[in-house]
Chains A and B, each alone.
Chain A
Amino acid sequence: MNNPIPNFPKGAISEIIGTAISLRGNDIDTDRIIPARFLKCVNFDALGSQVFDDDRKELNGLHPFDLKENQNASILVVNGNFGCGSSREHAPQALMRWGINAVIGQSFAEIFFGNCLALGIPCFTTSKQEIEEIQKSIESNTGIELLLNLKNQTLKSKKSTWQLEIDPGAKQMLTSGQWDATNQLISNSNSIDQIAKKLPYINGFKSKDSLNDLT
């Protein structure tokens, strides 16, 4: 793990300031982010040091997550379809526990995006060209500090500003602190009951009313 005590997202998130890691490659799946053998656990505590374990071993110290200049980074910049494959939340958990607080990429797999959101980790997108530009900029200016502003959807360095995109719903949840959705979901308790009552399969297909409602 790079950061001795990584900062876990908390409450409303307005900006993330820090250095960034460029991790190149399309279709990086969650088995690569966290190999299945590390899923043998009943809590997420140990995952930070296990992130990208196979890829890192293969590159023998040269993986971006092992490079000295990338230690303490909090923003990850990736390419297309990042986080595809298994639904394991262990993947964003491992990234977060390593120290990542935001991801910027060309595109994300859907379940991965949702898992990040549920942890308070924004996943921003932008075009292939812009990603290339950002990655080049990070790789050629090691240790460069970046400012990711959620409200304006911008990534800023001293020299440049990149405009980013994010699903408006996700942005709202992150900036308002409602990404931790449980309380809000529970608060609609009456509406939940009403829907359950209307669904014939929940009620053994017994209620005639519900059938009239539904077809």
Chain B
Amino acid sequence: MSSGTLFDKVWELHKVAKLPGGSTQLFVGLHLIHEVTSPQAFAALEEKSFPVRCPDQTIATVDHIVPTTNQERPFEDPLAEEMLSTLERNCKKHGIKLHGIGSGSQGIVHVIAPELGLTQPGMTVACGDSHTSTHGAFGAIAFGIGTSQVRDVLASQTLAMNKLKVRQIWIDGELNEGVYSKDLILHVIRELGVKGGVGYAYEFAGPAIEKLSMEERMTICNMAIEGGARCGYINPDQTTFEYLKGKAKAPSEESWQQALNWWKGLVSSPDSIFDDVVKFDASKIPPTVTWGITPGQGIGINESLPIPESLEPSERQIAEEAYRYMGLKPGSGIEGVSVDVCFIGSCTNGRLSDLHAAAKIAQGRKVAQGVKAFVVPGSEQVAREAEQEGLDKVFRGAGFEWREPGCSMCLAMNPDRLEGRQISASSSNRNFKGRQGSSSGRTLLMSPAMVAAAAITGQVTDVRSLIKQEKESTEKLKNE
């Protein structure tokens, strides 16, 4: 059993009671809600005539269903309109702050809470969304819940939960140029499997993790759930504190020192005991792309696709199913596979630094003919900042569409979707069958820079070759 870790400390601080049967009643410090998983919870609450216990600890936004082209109300899709107006009604009735469209702070729930400074070290964060693990990047214990649990949190600000084991994922070294935190987490999931993390919280640590920015850390923790770990976290450090300082909802100047002291005391102790430790070397990780129908089916850009017979028997069946669905050939390369649609955005990779990385590749180039490429900022704030820097012009100039914030084609609960057997290069988090809105649509997950590279060439491309090209031409210009 783990001890001394941040997870253990935060768990202890939030324990309300031991429930009959052995599970723990855990206090939830920050409850985030959105339009998809909350309406039934509010309805259940009203059926029992329970009030919302802590409306101030509950924050709402709308993200999954919003169109990214025309956000005028009422929405064209009456179901989407009904979902948003239900959320508006519920928030108003129960006194919950809603970051709605046009408020300046609307966006994907896992993008806005950090950028507003709502997510802080040492909190417990719950949301009816599996990618709630994102908030662990701040040293919070954050996890996704279902609608019945949303109801429980609304009613009691607590939920029943079993304590998780803690696995430390130690990453030595440093990521090479052209390799991003998305590649790192895709690599980890590839190695540990999509169910390797079931029953665990993942603590990401080590020199490679310490060097990452907050946004890069969010990408890592966001996808912990794709490795089966309901919760992933990173110990807070100077990078965390600097990110938080001055954010709207972060502790004020007067209480900053006290907050800092408390946060520092929560970091995993040097003598922490983990249930398991796994080590990786960041410098050996290549740009990584998924080829199959689970996020664990990834390979390095220069590798060839696995031969099912060479795989563990437990992975063979899903590999064969993936080959049937994807129409790819065992033993062939992933580089050079043609793509139809390129999507940059989502709670995994829809933040400003993600757009920087993609814009750097798009700058001065053109999207390949026949490829539909679009960029969806993760929030109104990300959109505003990107536009101030002129990133929208860079993308538009290169032939990308520049959209309004939302979840977009990550899960196709809005008009953005694949058609037929289209294949997408996507900076999102799931490549499940049908995930992007067409029951035969195919998804290749990769970093935003790799998506931009695929958009330019029309096929899966090693982004490092474009970076090299760029460098050579700058060099040439200098010499002339």
The residues of A with any CB-CB pair to B shorter than 8 Å are 25-27, 29, 31-32, 35-37, 39-44, 54-55, 57-58, 80-81, 84-90, 92-93, 107-111, 114-115, 118-119, 167-173, 176, 178, 181-182, 184-186, 188-189, 191-192, 195-196, 198-202, 204-206, 211, 214-215
Contact = CB atoms under 8 A, between A and B. Distances in A.
A88 B148 CA distance: 10
Contact of B198 (A109, A118, A170, A192): A109
A111 B265 CA distance: 30
Given A185-B152, A192-B16, A199-B14, 13 more contacts: A42-B83, A81-B198, A85-B130, A109-B228, A111-B144, A118-B149, A181-B160, A188-B17, A188-B25, A195-B16, A202-B57, A204-B255, A214-B265
Which one of A26, A55, A114, A192 has the greatest number of beta carbons of chain B within 10 Å?
Answer: A114
Nearest to B158: A185
Contact of A214 (B13, B25, B228, B434): B13
22 contacts: A26-B318, A27-B294, A36-B411, A39-B413, A40-B65, A42-B40, A42-B43, A85-B430, A86-B129, A86-B411, A87-B129, A87-B144, A111-B230, A169-B19, A173-B20, A176-B20, A184-B19, A185-B160, A189-B156, A191-B25, A201-B29, A214-B262
B94 interface: no
A169 B199 CA distance: 14
A35 B129 contact: no
A44 B294 CA distance: 27
Nearest to A185: B156
Contacts of A191: 16-17, 25
A156 to B, nearest CB: 25
Contacts of A176: 20-21
A82 to B, nearest CB: 10
Contacts of B318: 25-27
Interface in B293-346: 294, 314, 317-318, 321
Which one of A89, A119, A199 has the greatest number of beta carbons of chain B within 10 Å?
Answer: A89
B13 A199 contact: yes
Contacts of A169: 19, 21-23, 162
Contact of A87 (B130, B194, B411): B130
Nearest to B296: A27
A43 B21 contact: no
Nearest to B140: A201
B29 A110 contact: no
Interface of B: 13-17, 19-23, 25, 27, 29, 36-37, 39-40, 43, 48, 50, 53-54, 57, 64-65, 77, 79-80, 82-83, 86, 120, 122-123, 128-130, 132, 143-149, 151-152, 155-162, 194-195, 198-199, 225, 228, 230, 251-252, 255, 258-259, 261-262, 265, 294, 314, 317-318, 321, 411-413, 430, 432-435, 437, 439
Given A43-B43, A172-B21, A201 B123 contact: yes
B201 to A, nearest CB: 11
Nearest to B292: A27
Nearest to B154: A182
Q: 10 tightest CB-CB pairs across the interface, nearest first?
A: A172-B21, A215-B265, A118-B148, A89-B146, A115-B146, A87-B144, A205-B255, A54-B439, A185-B156, A87-B130
A168 B22 contact: yes
A37 B413 contact: yes
B37 A81 contact: no
A167 B162 contact: yes
A31 B434 contact: yes
Contacts of A39: 36, 64, 413
Given A32-B433, A192-B27, A195-B14, A178 B20 contact: yes
A176 to B, nearest CB: 7
A25 B314 CA distance: 10
A111 B151 CA distance: 15
Given A31-B432, A110-B228, A201 B259 contact: yes
B58 to A, nearest CB: 13
Given A115-B148, A182-B151, A198-B13, A88 B37 contact: yes
Given A40-B413, A80-B195, A89-B148, A205 B433 contact: no
A54 B198 contact: no
A182 B123 contact: no
B47 to A, nearest CB: 11
Contacts of A167: 162
Nearest to A208: B258
B262 A215 contact: yes
Contacts of B265: 214-215
Given A115-B148, A170-B21, A192-B158, A43 B39 contact: yes
Which one of A39, A88, A181 has the greatest number of beta carbons of chain B within 10 Å?
Answer: A181
B255 A31 contact: no
B166 to A, nearest CB: 14
A205 B258 contact: yes
A67 to B, nearest CB: 20
A136 to B, nearest CB: 16
Contacts of A32: 432-434
Nearest to A210: B262
Given A36-B413, A89-B147, A110 B160 contact: no
B158 to A, nearest CB: 5
A109 B195 contact: yes
Nearest to A213: B13
Contacts of A189: 156
Contacts of A214: 13, 262, 265
Contact of B259 (A35, A90, A172, A200): A200
A199 B148 CA distance: 25
Contacts of B156: 182, 185-186, 188-189, 192
A84 B146 CA distance: 13
A199 B259 CA distance: 11
B159 A185 contact: yes
Contacts of A108: 198
Contacts of A200: 258-259, 262
A215 B144 contact: no
Contacts of B433: 31-32, 54-55
